[in-house]
Structure 1
Amino acid sequence: MFIATAALSVLLALAFAGAGYPKLSGKDSMAAELGRLGVSAGFMRVIGALEILGAVGLIAGLWIEALGVAAATGLALLMAGAVASHLRARDTAKQTLPSLVLLILSATTLALGLAGL
């Protein structure tokens, strides 16, 4: 089960690092997209920092299991908020799907991590 958890953790860490960097750096296109969802520029940077910290936590969780579980929990909650924001904005399924997929993968990683404790 460790191999599945490790593989999923690494893939998620790459995805969240890639998603978090443009938010943290304040990229204009990301600010426009999140602004449409009602997210301020300052909060966008907070979200980006949380995504990057979650990615680091997933990788650290390969050695410290509780940290990986905590990171997966935080990322799943973050993505639940993202899905809720997309639904509140009445976004299309295509716009909501990336957040939903990351939510499912984060929850899966969390379940695998809990099973490994």
Structure 2
Amino acid sequence: MSVAHTLVTILGALLVGFSAYSVFTKAEYVVGPLAEYGVPRAWWTWLGLAKAAGALGLLVGLVVPAVGYAAAVGIVLYFLGAVITVVRARAYAHIPFPLIYLAPVAASLVLGLAA
């Protein structure tokens, strides 16, 4: 495991964990767009839990790599789904936001598999 992999993984976990926290606290900059995109309010807690589990899985993956790989794949799929949701809502200016969370997690996965 390289230093770059460790740092990128921690960064990804922090970003995804912050995203989960933002959903749990119903931060307007997160829940406003969710409502605008048509994501049912009943899903918000589950989406936050998925993000929190993914962030924790990334950190556990520093010790148990298979868990980290699974978490990274799950988070990448989650945020690809977020990109699709944004596109379907025709909020094209918002596309970069899920990509900000996706990028370090994808990089973590690539670095982990390359090691």
So what's the TM-score if we normalise by structure 1? 0.87
* Relative contact order higher in (CA < 8 Å, ≥ 6 apart): 2
Provide the alpha-carbon RMSD of the alignment: 1.6
Aligned length: 114
Report what 2:53 is aligned to: 53
* Post-superposition offset of 1:18: 0.7
Change (3 A) 1:31 1:102: closer
* Post-superposition offset of 1:22: 2.3
Is contact 2:11-2:104 (8 Å) kept? no
5+ unaligned residues in a row in structure 1: which ranges? none
5+ unaligned residues in a row in structure 2: which ranges? none
Change (3 A) 1:28 1:17: closer
Report what 1:99 is aligned to: 98
Report what 1:34 is aligned to: 34
1:1-117 mapped onto 2 (5 Å cutoff): 2-25=2-25, 27=26, 29=28, 30-93=30-93, 95-116=94-115
So what's the TM-score if we normalise by structure 2? 0.89
Identity of aligned residues (%): 34
Deviation >4 Å, runs of 4+: none
* Post-superposition offset of 1:115: 2.2
